[in-house]
Amino acid sequence: MKLAVFEAKDVTKRYSSGFVLQGLDMTIMAGDIYGFVGENGAGKTTLMKIIGGLVQPTGGEITLFGQRGKKELRVARRGVGFLIEMPALYPHMSAEENLKFYCHVLGIRNPQRIDEVLQAVALTDAGNKKASDYSLGMRQRLGLAIALLGSPQLLVLDEPINGLDPAGIVDMRQILERLVKEQGVTVLISSHILSELQLLATQYGFIHKGRLLKEISAADLLRSAQTLLCISTPNAESAAALLKQRLQIADITVNAPGELRIPKASVDLERLMAVFLQEGIPVEGFNMSAPNLEHYYMDLIGGGER
Amino acid sequence: MKDFLRAEVYFLRKDVAFKSITVLFALASLGLAVALGRIGGYALSSPIEPLRTAVSFSIFLYFIIPMFICFFITEGFEYGSVQNIIALGQSRQGYILGKYLLGVVLILWWLLQFFGLFLIVYLSAALITGSPVGHETTAEDISTAMRAVGLNILYLAAYSAVVMMLGVMIRKAASAIVATLFFVFGNFLLTGYLQGTSSAFLRLLSDHALMTQIMKFSGMYVENSQVILLTGTSDYVRAVLIPVIVIIVCLTAALLSLEKRDIHI
């Protein structure tokens, strides 16, 4: 049975400007890669900072590895690796020296650990280079190396792929996948790049205006959303009207680029093609859209209402 | 806490500002010993006499050390390391007290280096030049020099506590440095400009300012063309109580500020 690594119960954070978190309930189970999805200012970073003890909640309670209470949480945080916002690096120190500093903080005496984490984030060759000379991608990876130093059971990563180039994004995904697979690390990750999050996460939490709207597993998300047939045709509106009449399907829509979108489950593909041929509707393109995190999220928060 | 202190010592060992100040103090004590010897000769009435001379130059420590302490307390907010350190389980109280403790250790190290090097260079020069070194005032010099060094440690610790409070409250290195400059020079103004004021309150403020006490025990406080020194038990009690109260109040304020406020970099 999977154990809860982190639990938030009715967590609220209020500043003078208003609520950042409102009665948030959330659970992260061991071994999950929990994708935390929400717009800027939704409260993702605030919750991560609450986990890190950097922000104190106005109300509610959090549990980390089953521990609650100020002192117990502080001890439990030793089992968490954090990368919140920008990596905290000393620019005048090399990667190895930065890691050595945090080794001291964590009380790690084994010098091999520095090589291990540098290897884990593929920075072995740049260990002697000063952090000020690092690219953004390298800085993010070094930030991840710092988070990994204490062999954490939970990784809290706030926008870790922000500003990375495509290769850097792929690298980061592979590193995280390896950590979860080989070391059984649980990950809480937020990102605005939902397509990337969809490739990684096993569980999602959708937050909007400080409230957790829904928690759903990746498998349930796939099941919940319908596969659509997307057909490009020059006159989509009239084609949609014709298809609705001929096939008796009401659920045909036209999206912004002028594509017909038909739920796959509601139509027989052969019959659909036959209608296209009989009516002489030209087909310029044809594809199937898989269930999409972005669409799910937009539907959840009410389309364009943000 | 021990691990955090180790980490901070490692940071200091890598810090260019710390190394530069160490070199600066070494050069200052060396230069001062050579310059004073060339002017007045190296003849001494006791082997501790150079130390007694050196403490009167300790005033310039109050410009440099608080500035460094200000950098040292705000570096965590500047580079973001405070975020990682707290998130890794270090208590906020431990963070502040650890930083302060190291600040006091730095004060001890720099004073030992400044006064120690001065004494060694002066005595070596006296031996090399064959100047006479007497023993007539040894006991008196030891007592005076130790009192002044001890009070310097206490007052630099008080300055550090004020600067630490400012740093924790302001959290931005540049703004905290400006505030520290205001504090250091403000203290000089309190001592100098308010010395002869007719307002009883301002006069009280001036009398109890940190810099007034520092100048008194350093033998630099002049009133009506007369050097005013600390004399009598009440003077010494006051000279000790003022920095102790400042340390307690400022560290409490710094602790409360860090405990209550959220950490955003």
Q: Which of A273, A189, A195 is nearest to A231 (CA)?
A: A273
Place of tokens 């992260």: A28
CA dist B237 and A288 (Å) reads: 86
Q: Is the pLDDT of residue B98 over 90?
A: yes
Residue B232 contacts A, CB cutoff 8 Å: no
In chain A, residues with a C-beta closer than 8 Å to the C-beta of B89 are: 74-78
At B136, is the pLDDT very low, low, confident or very high (cuts 50, 70, 90)?
Answer: confident
What's residue A1's pLDDT?
66
Residue of A104, A128, A148, A149 best to disrupt the B interface, most CBs of B under 10 A: A104
**Phi and psi at residue A33, in whole multiples of 5°?**
-110, 105
The gap between the terminal CA atoms of chain A, to the nearest Å, is 38
Q: Which of A101, A165, A174, A244 is nearest to B9 (CA)?
A: A101
In chain A, residues with a C-beta closer than 8 Å to the C-beta of B102 are: none
- How many CA atoms are closer than 13 Å to the CA of B106, on its beta-carbon side? 31
Strands (E), B82-146: none
What does the pLDDT profile of chain A (306 residues) look like in tens digits?
Answer: 678 899 999 999 998 888 999 999 999 999 899 999 888 888 999 999 999 999 999 999 999 999 998 899 999 999 999 998 788 899 999 999 999 999 999 999 988 999 999 988 888 888 788 999 988 888 988 999 999 998 999 999 998 888 778 888 888 888 888 888 888 899 999 988 888 888 888 999 999 889 998 888 888 877 776 777 888 888 888 888 888 888 888 888 887 777 888 888 778 888 888 888 888 888 888 887 766 777 778 777 775 443
Q: Is the pLDDT of residue B63 over 60?
A: yes
Residue B146, Cβ neighbours under 10 Å: how many?
14
Residue of A46, A92, A105 best to disrupt the B interface, most CBs of B under 10 A: A105
Nearest residue in A to B80, CA atom: A88
A105 and B4: CB-CB below 8 Å?
yes
Tokens matching residue A78:
């030793």
Residue B181 contacts A, CB cutoff 8 Å: no
Q: What is the pTM of this model?
A: 0.84
B18 against B223, higher pLDDT: B18
The answer for A 108-167 residues in CB contact with B (under 8 A) is: 146, 150
Residue A100 contacts B, CB cutoff 8 Å: yes
Residue of A84, A100, A101, A156 best to disrupt the B interface, most CBs of B under 10 A: A101
Letter for the amino acid at A22? Answer: Q
What ipTM was predicted for this assembly? 0.88
pLDDT, one tens digit per residue, over B228-248 is 777 888 888 988 999 999 999
What's residue A306's pLDDT?
39
Cα B83 to its chain centre, rounded Å, is: 29
Burial class (CB in 10 A: 0-12, 13-18, 19+), B44: buried
Nearest residue in A to B6, CA atom: A104
Over range B21-34, report the average pLDDT.
Answer: 93
Letter for the amino acid at B256? Answer: L
What's residue A291's pLDDT?
67
Letter for the amino acid at B97? Answer: L
In chain A, residues with a C-beta closer than 8 Å to the C-beta of B19 are: none
What's residue A268's pLDDT?
85
Binning chain B into helix, strand and coil, the percentages to the nearest 5 are: 80, 0, 20
Tell me how close the Cα of A62 comes to any Cα of chain B, in angstroms.
Answer: 15
A54 and B87: CB-CB below 8 Å?
yes
Residue B190 to residues B47, B90, B151, B211, Cα–Cα distance (Å): 36, 39, 20, 8
B160 against A123, higher pLDDT: B160
Burial class (CB in 10 A: 0-12, 13-18, 19+), B233: exposed
Q: Is the pLDDT of residue B178 over 90?
A: yes
Nearest residue in B to A54, CA atom: B263
Name the region of A283 (left: φ>0; alpha: ψ -120 to 50; beta: rest).
beta
What's residue A303's pLDDT?
55
In chain B, residues with a C-beta closer than 8 Å to the C-beta of A75 are: 89
How many beta-carbon pairs below 8 A join chains A and B? 86
Residue A52 contacts B, CB cutoff 8 Å: yes
Tell me how close the Cα of A10 comes to any Cα of chain B, in angstroms.
Answer: 19
Nearest residue in B to A13, CA atom: B262
